[in-house]
Structure 1
Amino acid sequence: MSKPQVVLLPGAWHLPTCFSLIIPKLKAAGYTVHTTQLPSVTDKNPPKDLSADIAAVQTVVEKAIGSGNDVIVVPHSWAGFVAGSALVGYSKKERESKGQKGGVVRCGYMCAFMVPEGVSLSDTNQGPPPTWWTIEGDHFSRLTDSAGDILYSDLPDSQRAHWFEKASRTHSLHAFEAKATGESWKQIPTYYLICEDDLAIPVAGQEAMTGMVKNMGGELWTERLKSSHSPFLSHVGETVAWIKRIAGEHA
């Protein structure tokens, strides 16, 4: 039986290179891996809503489905917010009901946002931005120099600096203010990796989101990892093993 295709979606301010430690291991295990940069991660012409990010996710997922493949989608952080809207109609069950082959069979949210339709990321934080990012002008959010200490808190200082240099500095502010347009997690079985040492999305926030999804009828399972906000950098083996379990491997 062929293995499902894997789609990795990076979070806010981040480029697909953030997955460069786990992609080779997934490929070595026999998985075809896809990823893409989300248009809201940019320092010019920022999207004014969520539509560009949604379109980018749908494009890479359609490529993974191809002529009828099973697909698992693994969003990190901000990308979970996008996936909730972008994957509406892409579950294998929904596609089969329309006579289409293949589709998304499971999702794996890595300390990622899950919100109801009609809620924006800004709605979840009514106070000022945290100290590790700031608002720049009318269009951008920008990481501050302290962001590496938050996003990669369990990496050595030299590695924090390395990955911070590889991250984009800016992200569309309008995207943070856009409302979610769907709740795909109601249709797609979902696994959630709670990162217990996450300083960007504290455990209480992750638990609140997973509880909300269960209360709204979503099929969701959680695992816990003593990791910072970036488990694909600090806990590479554990993250790959978790993704493989989502794909159906249990050895």
Structure 2
Amino acid sequence: MSDTTHPNELVLVPGSFAYSALYEPLITPLRAKGLIIHALDPPCFPASYKKGTPSPSMYDDAAFINAFVTKLAEEGKDIVLLAHSYGGTPATESLKGVTKKEREAQGKKGGVVRVAYLTAIVPKIGEHLAQVISAAAQGGAPPIEIDEDGWMFQPRPDLTAAIVYNSLSPERGTAEAAKFGKHASISFGTNLTHNGYKDVPVSWFFCEDDLCVVPEVQETAINVIEESWKGTERQGKKVDVTRVKCDHIPIHSASEELEKWVEGIIAKGGKE
């Protein structure tokens, strides 16, 4: 049962190539404070990889997230959905029918009350991750190879670290990047069909030194979200943005700021 001091539960969707365990340095101290956090390992992510398994798509991730969130909502839970990096795309796609606004219209309790993006990829409807990243790449992309089953992997942790852990020492960054696993390649080229953020408050943790999801990409996504609110009951609202000078994976480079931010979005829930 949820702690009544913290009525909202958080569902975390990781970034690509990442196991949910990567976020334990963030999750563990928050759980110690009584916060309820669920960290997912959707189909396109390393935990699901098995040799000989065909590469799933972003839509498989979205369906997985939707099913998990629906189960919590059916229990009457109010949910904050937090997505990092690639996770922003399936998380956004997954929200069809599970926001609290949509469920209340059907006489149901529970649902997603806030979407929070951690330096995430949020394409426009009809676009996909690869388009968004290639349009504004500054730091370049780490080398990616694809195996015979269509799963991507990063063969050079040192080069990956230079892009995603650029706030850390090369040695530590490389050690962290070496923990990444395989990620389904189709997921990067699957178009967004649903702008799930349109019915809920949105928060954004803006990583100003991100060389992967660069500031231009983050700013564009924020603008797209706010544009989607024009002509709706949310017209005039702004994305709640927290800006921090840190790299793409601030679990280590901005741990205190990130922990405070996550605690804050859980406390806010659906409140503006």
Structure 1 and Structure 2 fold alike (TM over 0.5): yes
CA displacement at 1:75 relative to structure 2: 0.4
Structure 1 residue 176 corresponds to structure 2 residue 188: yes
Structure-2 change in CA distance of 1:159 and 1:56 (3 Å):
farther
Partner of 1:185: 197
Structure 1: distance between partners of 2:180 and 2:29 = 21
Of 147, 157, 169, the residue aligned with 1:156 is 169
Deviations 1:64-114, CA, capped at 9 Å, x for gaps? 435101111110000001111001221111111111111111111000011
Structure 1 residue 113 corresponds to structure 2 residue 121: yes
Q: Provide TM-score, normalisation by structure 1.
A: 0.90
Partner of 2:107: 99
Partner of 2:179: 166
Amino acid at match of 2:30: L
CA displacement at 1:233 relative to structure 2: 2.5
Structure 1 gap segments, 5+ residues each: none
CA RMSD, aligned part only? 2.1
Structure 1 residue 16 corresponds to structure 2 residue 20: yes
Structure 1 residue 143 corresponds to structure 2 residue 154: yes
Structure 1 residue 243 corresponds to structure 2 residue 254: no
Deviations 1:11-30, CA, capped at 9 Å, x for gaps? 11111011110111111221
Structure-2 change in CA distance of 1:195 and 1:137 (3 Å):
same
Of 142, 161, 169, the residue aligned with 1:132 is 142
Aligned residues: 247
Partner of 1:30: 34
CA displacement at 1:126 relative to structure 2: 5.1
Amino acid at match of 1:11: G
Task: Determine what percentage of the aligned residue pairs are the same residue.
Answer: 26
Partner of 2:209: 197
Structure 2 gap segments, 5+ residues each: none
